[in-house]
Amino acid sequence: MAIHPDLLELVRCPKCRGKLEVTAAGDGLDCHACRLRYAILDEIPQLLIEEAKPLTAP
């Protein structure tokens, strides 16, 4: 299940308005500037800062 590229162009980090990167598994969107991960549920990005999870260091 992949997020639609057009949708990806529209979604921005609600915190910094930066571009988001889809995770390898396609189940989330990462903001590297904020080091936050937004979940994708039923192909709908959950762009809520309070719902975002901190990115773990690789």
**Which spans of this chain sit near Zn ion (rule: CB under 5 A)?**
13, 15-16, 18, 31, 33-34
47/1 Cα distance (integer angstroms): 19
Distance in Å, CB of 36 to Zn ion, minimum: 6
Q: Which of residues 1 and 10 has its CB atom nearest to Zn ion in the complex?
A: 10
Distance in Å, CB of 26 to Zn ion, minimum: 19
Whether the Cβ atoms of residue 25 and residue 9 lie closer than 8 Å to each other: no
Q: Which of residues 3 and 36 has its CB atom nearest to Zn ion in the complex?
A: 36
Q: Which of residues 18 and 26 has its CB atom nearest to Zn ion in the complex?
A: 18
